[in-house]
Structure 1
């Protein structure tokens, strides 16, 4: 964990560790570091791919599925974390790995070298070919070429082969293979217009599958009759296998009526390119759609927001907190999400007379931000018991991917803006020692177009901003959270881990000290 912690810990705290008790700020960063470390690509592979002797590999950890090794393993991969995944897979499989192709973001190998992440780079004489593409996270000619190489490799396999498929966030842009005669640009235009019109991720995926060779189970189909094992780092709420990188190893029915209905709903059917209409015309009608036998495919999620929260919970316990995991699926507008965390903090510290009113508001907000009512009841019950039984400090953990309504032109991201808004919600607690502390950070280490992953804050945010003549409301209106935190107290609130080499969405940490109380 040292390589992650050294980047997340603010240096001034390191010098103080031996002389005084760790601050809540520091402990929040420790918990976040544990979450990020748990979903590092090499660690995730190591925990899910185990050699037993020379001829057997176990997939999925203890009690997982066994596969025979006989110099018959090929690897393909696509995504932002795939290079590190492939490096560890090659180390584990050794000579049984006979070749492969991975599609990774443009410039990632040089970036890893610059950041000293040599353990995530393939050895010099690796049998795995690395192809970079998708500059600015958009499908391009380079990523299409890589996808075509992956398709050729998969199509040449036999029933004696094992295809290891490595998938992480960003994989969809790195695996573009439109069905002929559709061009890459035509496919991009269709999906962009759908997104701009407000299509859901499920609707976008329906159309992508219909227009793609490899998405929607196409890669698994190409590899048939070889055995296919997909190891997946999920960056999607709920870990739906058909949505992560558009589900290249998850076969689903694609029917003409469903795709046409989506295009018609958003007024794009008549204006669709002739090539798109031609491909859609080849699709089977709904009643004739058949789902192909998938016995040769094993999909395993090896890293997710839930995994990150589990490890964060263990670290919180080590640091003296009673950990409670709220949900890995927090979504919706950051204003509603920040209000929810503010209410939970107040509920945890309120007198019995006020708790019923606060609980009702918490339950109402939960529906807006993707948190199940049962989870809210469970967390509030635990907070109530902690308060009444004097359990001590509490750590509420959650994750997901909230959204920000852009109204300005400032620099920032959803995590920094969420932290700002939670800081405002915490006004009324007695700062700084008795105030709850909140941290929001992106596990990919980059929150919007900034060097920060997020920020940590408490009830002193508003008062400190006033002392420095920083208008919090104006910064929020301009979506300029990074500039705000950079100026506030010399930037010490920012969480800047650097390149994390992974991504399982965001982690939210609310630390409530046993002495917390409101004015």
Structure 2
């Protein structure tokens, strides 16, 4: 059976209503860990849907002098009100914004993923769709989250709207994850194809989102504050749904309403790091060497007000509440989990081992525990996850008894260094690598302690799309690889070809895939580890 989550439009209503049972009643049920994990994941996504977040952030006050109030800060409407937006969650944000703004909205243009209107219509998520007589023009593009000609047309239309504004006008900008791909406007003579090729090369070599966006901004008319410059002297209010670790305004969607701090030297260092300096197209060399990327004096952005209205932390806090309601001792590790998937998978494997060793009466004082703890501490230091305090986490876990189930939560975004030509995504590859790591431990003589526990690991993208696939992610138990090998699957071969999606599709008919469809939001990924002693529930 495939885990298909179909209830996005009725979140908070019948099929997704939180259980009314007490924590004790919930924890004594026979619900499988996988079902708990699925509930925790969809609850996390549900709390960061665009509608509720926008309504909390934006208010229109009508009086003799109407004004918009954004997070408590008022802005008078002296002239016309316009709206632009770009990102995976922007369609739902725009629908709610237009309801709030009413007749004050003169015109809007939004750039959204290819096919999202049809998908939301098909799944019954009509509250994320614009009304038939909407003043907002919807332009779809960036299939598979890659810039294309359709997204380029949308970016040009948005730029033209912004350039026509006056000092009396107000521009509301809606930004969410996927905004970079949906707002491509390369600086001539760079072509869309040349910019895309360079970005893909960097991504395939493991470049971070920060590095990718530095290059994107240097080659873009609208990123790196370009949209704000185009809209000057109009007042610009930017509402941002963050899909970047740490919520840095200049990185989310490559910062179209935030001044860029990059310099030519920064770009050259990144390109040199990934051995691409000698293979740059002539057009890219021309732009990087021009004065466009070097501002001699700081620009005035006093006409811009940027606010983050939703983030990964918000999703994780809801996930924590749901896990605790179901009787789990829950620890929120970090909302800035990052790193290459193989390294992060090893981190989670060690973490799972240490939790099991720490909660097992038989192995609690085992020398193996100290060995695993040291390895985990060293790896955590290598990953350099801000705010990650494993000592504090394990102080909380010491409260647990063998019978108490444990839930560990984290969020962020990993990277994949492409070595093959398979089909997959960072979440699916992370899950499969965690499963392989646990299998290898279980196969050793000292790894038998894992048999005493049920373990489920889940990783899913909150946007419902993991890489160029229709899956949001996947989940696994520690038995997955063993079961796959019995059916003739070579898991390591799938991983070496970056072919995790094909594995999960072929193995047990896709049973371990998370299939949500596009969710209408995007705040990076959610990771959940669920552990309980066998027979404890």
Question: TM-score range with shorter-chain normalisation?
Answer: 0.7 to 0.9
Q: Which residue of 2 aligns with 1:316?
A: 323
Shift of 1:397: 0.2
Secondary structure (helix, strand or coil) at the match of 1:451 reads coil
Secondary structure (helix, strand or coil) at the match of 1:25 reads helix
Kindly indicate whether residue 79 of structure 2 is the aligned counterpart of residue 68 of structure 1: no
Q: Is the contact between residue 253 and residue 291 of structure 1 (CA under 8 Å) also seen in structure 2?
A: no
Higher deviation after alignment, 29-38 or 341-350: 341-350
Aligned-partner Cα distance in 2 for 1:258–1:2: 44
Aligned-partner Cα distance in 2 for 1:343–1:504: 26
Q: Which has the higher contact order (CA 8 A, sep 6+)?
A: 2
Q: Which runs of 5+ in 1 are unaligned?
A: none
Q: Is the contact between residue 253 and residue 290 of structure 1 (CA under 8 Å) also seen in structure 2?
A: no
Deviations along 1:453-510, one digit per CA (max 9) or x if unpaired, are 2222223324433554444444444444344444555543332222212222221111
Aligned-partner Cα distance in 2 for 1:497–1:258: 39
Deviations along 1:273-292, one digit per CA (max 9) or x if unpaired, are 3685267433486xx73222
Q: Which residue of 1 aligns with 2:530?
A: 511
Shift of 1:201: 4.3
Q: Which residue of 2 aligns with 1:435?
A: 454
Q: 2:484 aligns with which of 457, 462, 465?
A: 465
How many residue pairs get matched? 505
The 5-angstrom pairing of residues 311-460 of structure 1 reads 311-350=318-357, 351-354=363-366, 355-372=369-386, 374-387=388-401, 392-424=404-436, 425=438, 427=442, 428=447, 434-460=453-479
Q: 1:57 aligns with which of 68, 83, 87?
A: 68
Shift of 1:353: 2.1
Q: Is the contact between residue 133 and residue 143 of structure 1 (CA under 8 Å) also seen in structure 2?
A: yes
Q: Is the contact between residue 430 and residue 516 of structure 1 (CA under 8 Å) also seen in structure 2?
A: no
Q: 2:42 aligns with which of 33, 37, 49?
A: 33
Q: Which residue of 2 aligns with 1:23?
A: 32
Q: Is the contact between residue 144 and residue 468 of structure 2 (CA under 8 Å) also seen in structure 1?
A: no
Aligned-partner Cα distance in 2 for 1:275–1:445: 34
Q: Is the contact between residue 336 and residue 386 of structure 2 (CA under 8 Å) also seen in structure 1?
A: no
Distance 1:263 1:341, change over 3 A: closer
Aligned-partner Cα distance in 1 for 2:138–2:421: 37
Distance 1:24 1:255, change over 3 A: closer
Aligned-partner Cα distance in 2 for 1:279–1:490: 49
Aligned-partner Cα distance in 2 for 1:379–1:47: 32
Aligned-partner Cα distance in 2 for 1:180–1:246: 18
Distance 1:105 1:437, change over 3 A: closer
Q: Is the contact between residue 203 and residue 417 of structure 2 (CA under 8 Å) also seen in structure 1?
A: no
Shift of 1:166: 0.8
Q: Is the contact between residue 254 and residue 283 of structure 1 (CA under 8 Å) also seen in structure 2?
A: no
What is the root-mean-square deviation of aligned Cα atoms in Å? 3.6
Shift of 1:403: 3.2
Deviations along 1:50-74, one digit per CA (max 9) or x if unpaired, are 34556343323xxx32223467321
Higher deviation after alignment, 149-158 or 348-357: 348-357
Aligned-partner Cα distance in 2 for 1:170–1:218: 17
Aligned-partner Cα distance in 2 for 1:112–1:182: 35
Higher deviation after alignment, 305-314 or 42-51: 42-51
Deviations along 1:111-157, one digit per CA (max 9) or x if unpaired, are 32233222211111111111223344333333222222212222222
Q: TM-score, normalised by structure 2?
A: 0.82
Distance 1:262 1:466, change over 3 A: closer
Higher deviation after alignment, 130-139 or 148-157: 130-139
